Chains A and B, each alone.
Chain A
Amino acid sequence: MLALLGLSLTFFSADCGGREDDLVDEFGEVELNFQGFFGAEPLVMLAKEYDYEAGMDVRFQLFQFYVSEINLISKSGEKVRLGEIELINFENVQSDEAASKGLSFAFGNIPAGEYRAIEMGIGVSGDLNEKAPSDYAVGHPLAFQGNYWSGLSSYIFTKIEGNADLNGDGEFTEKLTFHIGEKEDVPLYQTISLDYDLTVSKDQSTVLPLSVDLKQVISPNSSNFLDFREVSQDHTNQAAVYTLIVDNLQKNAIRIRQ
Chain B
Amino acid sequence: MRILTAILGALFILQSCQDQPRIGPDGDLSAFSYYPIAYELEEPSRFVKMQAFEDNPLTKAGVALGRQLFYDPILSRDSTRSCSSCHLQAFGFSDTMQVSLGIENRKGKRNAIALTNLGYHYTQFFWDGRVASLEEQALIPVEDSLELGNSWEEVEEILRKHPTYPVDFRAAFGIENIAEIDRHLVARALAQFERTFVSADSKFDQVLKGEATLTPAEERGRLIFFDESEVLPSGECAHCHVGPLLTTLTFFNNGLDNTDGALVDVGQESVTGNVFDRGKFKTPSLRNIALTAPYMHDGRFTSLEEVIEQYNKGGHYSKNESPNIRPLGLQDQDKADLIAFLHTLTDTSYLERAELSNPFVH
Binding site for B on A (CB under 8 A): 45-47, 59, 61, 94, 133-134, 136-139, 143-146, 148, 150-152, 161-163, 172-173, 175-177, 233, 235, 237
Q: Report if B353 contacts A (CB, 8 A).
A: no
- Interface size on B, as a range, is 20 to 34
Which chain B residues numbered 18 to 56 have a C-beta less than 8 Å away from chain A?
Answer: 45-49, 51
B8 to chain A minimum Cβ distance, whole angstroms, is: 60
Indicate if the CB atoms of A175 and B326 lie closer than 8 Å. yes
Indicate if the CB atoms of B51 and A137 lie closer than 8 Å. yes
Knowing A137-B51, A163-B323 touch, does A46 contact B276 (C-beta < 8 A)? yes
Which chain B residues numbered 103 to 126 have a C-beta less than 8 Å away from chain A?
Answer: 120, 122
Residues of chain A within 8 A (CB-CB) of B323 are: 61, 161-163, 175-177
Indicate if the CB atoms of A136 and B239 lie closer than 8 Å. no
CB-nearest residue of chain B relative to A143?
A: B48
Q: Report if B356 contacts A (CB, 8 A).
A: no
Residues of chain A within 8 A (CB-CB) of B215 are: none
Which of A61, A138, A145 counts the most chain B CB atoms within 10 A?
A: A145
Indicate if the CB atoms of B324 and A177 lie closer than 8 Å. yes
Indicate which residue in A94, A144, A176 contacts B248 across the interface (CB closer than 8 Å).
Answer: A144
Residues of chain A within 8 A (CB-CB) of B242 are: 145-146, 148, 150
Residues of chain B within 8 A (CB-CB) of A150 are: 226, 242-243
Q: Report if B245 contacts A (CB, 8 A).
A: yes
Indicate if the CB atoms of A148 and B243 lie closer than 8 Å. yes
14 A/B residue pairs, CB under 8 Å, sorted by A: A59-B319, A134-B49, A138-B51, A143-B48, A145-B48, A145-B242, A145-B243, A145-B244, A146-B242, A151-B226, A151-B228, A163-B323, A235-B234, A237-B230
Known: A46-B320, A61-B322, A138-B120. 9 other contacts (CB 8 A): A134-B49, A136-B49, A138-B122, A145-B245, A163-B319, A173-B317, A175-B321, A175-B324, A177-B323
> Complex Cα distance A37/B226, Å?
33
A84 to chain B minimum Cβ distance, whole angstroms, is: 17
> Complex Cα distance A47/B326, Å?
22
B46 to chain A minimum Cβ distance, whole angstroms, is: 5
Residues of chain A within 8 A (CB-CB) of B321 are: 175
Q: Report if B164 contacts A (CB, 8 A).
A: no
Q: Report if B227 contacts A (CB, 8 A).
A: yes
CB-nearest residue of chain A relative to B50?
A: A138
Indicate if the CB atoms of A133 and B324 lie closer than 8 Å. no
Indicate if the CB atoms of B320 and A175 lie closer than 8 Å. no
Residues of chain A within 8 A (CB-CB) of B58 are: none
Indicate if the CB atoms of B274 and A146 lie closer than 8 Å. no
Indicate if the CB atoms of B45 and A134 lie closer than 8 Å. yes
Indicate which residue in A61, A133, A144 contacts B320 across the interface (CB closer than 8 Å).
Answer: A61
Residues of chain B within 8 A (CB-CB) of A162 are: 323
> Complex Cα distance A133/B48, Å?
6
> Complex Cα distance A158/B131, Å?
30
Q: Report if B325 contacts A (CB, 8 A).
A: yes
Q: Report if B206 contacts A (CB, 8 A).
A: no
Residues of chain B within 8 A (CB-CB) of A139 are: 122
A10 to chain B minimum Cβ distance, whole angstroms, is: 41
Which chain B residues numbered 318 to 352 have a C-beta less than 8 Å away from chain A?
Answer: 319-326
Which chain B residues numbered 203 to 259 have a C-beta less than 8 Å away from chain A?
Answer: 226-228, 230, 234, 239-240, 242-245, 248, 250
Residues of chain B within 8 A (CB-CB) of A138 are: 48-49, 51, 120, 122
Knowing A61-B320, A136-B48, A146-B250 touch, does A94 contact B326 (C-beta < 8 A)? no
Residues of chain B within 8 A (CB-CB) of A133 are: 48, 243
Indicate if the CB atoms of A134 and B47 lie closer than 8 Å. yes
Indicate if the CB atoms of B276 and A94 lie closer than 8 Å. yes
Indicate if the CB atoms of B326 and A146 lie closer than 8 Å. no
Knowing A146-B239, A172-B319 touch, does A134 contact B326 (C-beta < 8 A)? no
> Complex Cα distance A108/B83, Å?
46
Residues of chain B within 8 A (CB-CB) of A145 are: 48, 242-245, 248
> Complex Cα distance A59/B274, Å?
18
> Complex Cα distance A143/B120, Å?
12
The 10 closest A-B pairs by CB, nearest first: A145-B243, A146-B248, A175-B323, A138-B122, A151-B228, A161-B323, A177-B323, A46-B276, A145-B242, A175-B326
Residues of chain A within 8 A (CB-CB) of B230 are: 237
Residues of chain A within 8 A (CB-CB) of B239 are: 146, 177
Residues of chain A within 8 A (CB-CB) of B243 are: 133, 145-146, 148, 150
> Complex Cα distance A49/B244, Å?
37
Indicate if the CB atoms of A161 and B324 lie closer than 8 Å. yes
Which of A136, A163, A175 counts the most chain B CB atoms within 10 A?
A: A175
Knowing A137-B51, A145-B242 touch, does A94 contact B274 (C-beta < 8 A)? yes
> Complex Cα distance A143/B50, Å?
11
A7 to chain B minimum Cβ distance, whole angstroms, is: 44
> Complex Cα distance A237/B231, Å?
12
> Complex Cα distance A237/B232, Å?
14
Which chain B residues numbered 161 to 195 have a C-beta less than 8 Å away from chain A?
Answer: none
Indicate if the CB atoms of B244 and A134 lie closer than 8 Å. yes
> Complex Cα distance A145/B326, Å?
22
Indicate if the CB atoms of B45 and A233 lie closer than 8 Å. no
> Complex Cα distance A173/B321, Å?
10
Residues of chain B within 8 A (CB-CB) of A176 are: 323
> Complex Cα distance A150/B208, Å?
11
B240 to chain A minimum Cβ distance, whole angstroms, is: 7
> Complex Cα distance A180/B49, Å?
26
CB-nearest residue of chain A relative to B47?
A: A134
> Complex Cα distance A136/B49, Å?
7
B228 to chain A minimum Cβ distance, whole angstroms, is: 5
> Complex Cα distance A233/B323, Å?
9
> Complex Cα distance A50/B82, Å?
52
